Amino acid sequence: MGYIVFLDRDGVINIDSSEYIKNKSEFKFIPKSPEAIALLCKNGFHVIVITNQSMIGRNMVTQESLDAIFKKMKNGVKKAGGEIKDIFFCPHAPEDNCSCRKPKPGLILDAQKKYHIDLDQSCMVGDSIKDIECAINAGCSKILLVKTGNGSMAEHQLSSKGITPDFIGSDLYEAALWIIKNVKI
């Protein structure tokens, strides 16, 4: 399939909220994130979104509402000239102890199985310690942290655990530029 860039959603692609993103009107792109995805696609990378969406398991939103949010995201990226190949999400509440909730690698492993992905040909961009640990647990070759969303707090948490991402950037656009420059496909 080629080189895969896994992206977290909330705090990487769109503005996160402590109240959760419960409907498509609450979904707002972080500036330049659709353009960043388009830039990756135009340079031969495939983008897959990997996201925890416990709102489903907590009965805060319906699957239809989540699908409408995903559709808005995919359409915004398409309008910018990019494509989100697929979206894998965990619908479970944290206490469900499932295998797909980040930092567990289940979502990435599901994508690997579906698309026959060589994880040595993949990277993950996230804004939280859960995203970075998920990428490590799955065996992604490059791991990037962005400071949008929870990134600044995650940077300190990772440092205290002795974990250093391959790149720390201000936002997804900066991360995309680093990937294009530093990852050979």
Per-residue confidence (pLDDT) for residue 96, from 0 to 100: 93
Residue type, 63: Q
Number of domains making up the chain: 1
Please, what is the angle between helix 63-79 and helix 33-42, to 10°? 60
Give per-residue pLDDT as tens, 109-162: 999 999 999 999 999 999 999 999 999 999 999 999 999 988 889 999 999 999
Torsion sign over Cα 125, 46, 22, 62: negative
Per-residue confidence (pLDDT) for residue 29, from 0 to 100: 98
Domain that holds residue 23: 4-182
171 is catalytic: no
Per-residue confidence (pLDDT) for residue 140, from 0 to 100: 97
Pairing state between β 46-52 and 142-146: unpaired
Spatial CA neighbour of 77 closest among 150, 172, 165, 148: 172
DSSP letter at 10 equals: B
The residue annotated as part of the active site, out of 8, 127, 131, 171, is: 8
DSSP labels for 122-154? EEEEESSHHHHHHHHHHT-SEEEEESTTTHHHH
The residue annotated as part of the active site, out of 10, 127, 131, 171, is: 10
Spatial CA neighbour of 131 closest among 95, 174, 172: 172
Per-residue confidence (pLDDT) for residue 59, from 0 to 100: 85
Per-residue confidence (pLDDT) for residue 1, from 0 to 100: 72
What stretches in the chain show pLDDT beneath 50?
A: none
Give the Å distances, CA to CA, from 106 to 52, 103, 163, 180: 11, 9, 21, 26
Per-residue confidence (pLDDT) for residue 41, from 0 to 100: 98
10 is catalytic: yes
Longest Cα–Cα distance of the chain, Å, equals 43
pTM of the model: 0.97
Per-residue confidence (pLDDT) for residue 165, from 0 to 100: 97
CATH number, domain of 155, equals 3.40.50.1000
